Amino acid sequence: MGSQVWCFIAIFILITTGESRKTTDKTCHPNDLKGLISFKAAIRSDDSGRLEKWIGYGCCKWEGISCNNTTGRVTQINLPGFFTSSDDSPVQTSMNGHLSPSITLLSSLEVIDLSGLTGLTGNIPPSIGFRLPKLRKLSLFGNKLEGRLPESIGKLFNLEVMYLHENSFSSTLPESLGNLKSLRFLDLHSNGYTGVVPDCIANLTNLETLNLQNNFLSHIPANIGDLQALKELDLSNNSLRGRIPSSITKLKSISVIYLNNNQLEGEIPQPFSSDQMPALRFLRLHDNLLVGRIPDSLGYLTSLERVSLANNKLEGSIPTSLGNLRSLTELYINGNQLSGQIPSSLGQLSRLLILNISNNMIREPLPQEMASLINLQTLDLSFNRLNLFSIPYWLLKLPSLSQIHLASCRIQGELTEFLQSTPSSLQVIDFSDNNLTGNIPALIGSLTELYLLNLAGNSLIGQIPSTITNLVNLGVLDLRSNKLEGSLHRVFEIQTRFGGGSLTYIDFSDNRFSTGIEQIGTGMQQGIQYLNLSHNFLKGRIHTAIGTLGSMQSLDLSYNNIESELPPSLGNATSLERLKLQKNNFTGKIPNEFLKLKELEELDLSNNMLIGEIPFGKPLIDFPKSSYLQNRGLCGKPLGPCPL
């Protein structure tokens, strides 16, 4: 490049920068200046430090303000709470104060971004539509703003982006919304909007995102299908009633439909051909009141990746056509009234990661073809009408399986065979409410990734194998309602990988355990939150170390033969919400330290050998008499007064 050209560029830069300095240095337009000064005055605190540098009259130079170089008017206020600071690191800041209506003085504004400041209160100025006709972007999300969306908003013909989510806005949405012909992104989620989604919203032919999640809206417009540019529709967690409009299948650009957690009724609208909703990837209709069958034509929607139809009133069989959905990674159809058998075509869903069919009326046999689900990580078939008899062999060969839920599937026999062939990467096993017999095999200790083991409601016998101490990742252990016996102490010896103990939930109730109770609190299980040893034959004393279980919320030792005194140290387990010690032989007095159990909501000390005065104070005096009845000699509130 010749030196002449370089020279020309240099001069050009000099001229343009000099020029812009000229326009920005000078006093800005008096209305803009007045508006910004009032805006600043209404902000009580700004921990970003941006506003304190707003000094003088040249407001175009102020941080967060942009002007048009020709007209000198302010076009943008960009003061989001989350931004990238001058040294390129992201910072989260907040402002407390009132959104001054004087920002409507800045009549050339195109962009208002006061998002995520967390502490901004006040309203959207009612005159906004008349005063700021050039507005393209209005972003006020993540504040404490309230009031209605003003009718005048419909005058903002240039508005493309309206982000008002995560505030406390309320009242109904104005009909004038339908005039915002340029609008592409409308996000009002997590506010208190009521009434209907206005029909006129279907006029917004450029709308790409409509997010009204977490409001109290009650009706979807029948003509919603007119939104030909719409890619994301989220109306989840509102109060929507009636049917899902059939026009929804005409949404040609749609990729996301979330209508879950409403009271929608009627049948799922059927796409008529593979031309409809060709880009639909995520469909959530769960937790509604939908009836009828899962439409066969759902199989046309081959872009689908995640589908949840769970917790409705769907019936009939699972359509074979679902096998066409080769992109599917997650399918939740649990909690319906589906019957028949699982179609063998589901074996074609080789990308499937999660399949939940639990809580239906599905019958055996399971199709062998499911062995092809090589990516399946989570399978839940619990609570159907499956008579599996044994755990299907192919299931154990699924290479990616990490969670298996087969509760109440009428599985019989011993666990040994299962444990011999199962991949050691399993993290969750729920075989509860079956008819497993025999011992818990020592092999269980080889499943070192195991986080949850639920074998409750079976007919297991014998002792807990010593290898259980290998399960260093165990968090939840439920062996309720079996015929297990012997000592519990191994469980309190599990040295969880992170030392402090990830084991938070232990239910050994309704078995035949007799020893090991003195180990509670002595091991590494400091994180335990739920411990239920009720309905066993436990004898012995309770160690004072029980008081070190500071996370424990629920302790149930009822229906045993414990003959200990109540340890005063238990008063140190101050997270306790439920304490059930009834039907034992606890002796002595109720320790005064129990008055420290301020979180206690449920207490049962009845049917023991306790004596003396119930310590006077909350929460102990607030429990009903029945919490203390049938002891040897308790007295004082809530029971009768003690003898003098």
Q: Closest CB to ligand NAG among 43 and 202?
A: 202
Nearer to ligand NAG, 231 or 480 (CB): 480
Candidates 48, 100, 214, 377: give the one binding ligand NAG (CB under 6 A): 214
Among 358, 402, 470, 627, which residue sits at the site for ligand NAG (rule: CB under 6 A)? Answer: 358
556 binds ligand NAG (CB under 6 A): yes
Among 375, 585, 587, 592, which residue interacts with ligand NAG (rule: CB under 6 A)? 585
Separation between Cα atoms, residue 77 and residue 91, nearest integer Å: 18
Tell which positions 219-278 bind ligand NAG, by CB under 6 A: 237
Stretch that binds ligand NAG, among 267-275, 318-326, 439-447, 576-584 (CB under 6 A): 576-584
Site string for ligand NAG, 173-202 (x = CB under 6 A): -----x-----------x--------xx-x
CB of 342 to ligand NAG, least distance (A): 15
Single out the segment in contact with ligand NAG by CB under 6 A; choices: 113-121, 283-291, 516-524, 565-573.
565-573
* 338/359 Cα distance (integer angstroms): 9
What is the 3-class SS of 379-425, one letter each residue?
Answer: EECCCCECCCECCCCHHHHCCCCCEEECCCCCEEECCHHHHHHCCCC
Say how far apart CA 622 and CA 611 lie, in whole Å.
19
Size of residue set near ligand NAG by CB under 6 A: 48
SS3 303: coil
Interface pick for ligand NAG out of 350, 459, 466, 626 (rule CB under 6 A): 459
Residue of 636, 178, 245 whose CA lies nearest to 235: 245
| CB-nearer residue toward ligand NAG: 155 or 580 | 580
Q: Do the beta carbons of residue 513 and residue 483 sit within 8 Å? A: no
Least Å from the CB of residue 431 to ligand NAG = 14
Write out the H or E segment, with its range, that includes residue 172.
strand 168-172
Record the tokens describing residue 100, joined without a space.
Answer: 């001054």
> Residue 242 Cβ, how far from ligand NAG at the closest point, in Å?
17
Burial 289-310 (b: 16+ CB within 10 A, else e): ebeebbbebbbbbebbbbbbbb
How far, in Å, CA of 266 to CA of 247, rounded? 14
Cβ distance to ligand NAG smaller for residue 339 or 585: 585
Residue from the set 380, 433, 518, 604 that interacts with ligand NAG by CB under 6 A: 380
Tally helices (H) and strands (E) across the chain.
4, 42
Tokens of 175: 């009909």
Q: Is 534 in the site for ligand NAG (CB under 6 A)?
A: yes
Contacts with ligand NAG, 476-495, as mask; x by CB under 6 A: ----x---------------
In angstroms, what is the minimal distance from the CB of 358 to ligand NAG?
4
Contacts of 15 (CB under 8 A, 6+ apart): none
Cβ atoms 512, 536 nearer than 8 A: yes
Per-residue binding letters, 279-318, with ligand NAG (x by CB under 6 A): ----------------------------------------
One-character DSSP codes across 314-345: -EEEPPGGGGG-TT--EEE--SSEEES---GG
CA distance 580 to 566: 12
Q: Could you say which of 31, 68, 246, 514 contacts ligand NAG (CB under 6 A)?
A: 68
Question: Judged by CB under 6 A, does residue 154 bind ligand NAG?
Answer: no
Q: Do the beta carbons of residue 112 and residue 135 sit within 8 Å?
A: yes
Interaction site with ligand NAG (CB under 6 A): 20, 24, 68-71, 178, 190, 199-200, 202-203, 214-215, 237, 334-335, 356, 358-359, 378, 380, 403, 405, 412, 435, 437, 459, 480, 509-510, 532, 534-535, 544, 547, 554, 556, 561, 568-569, 572, 578, 580, 583-585, 593
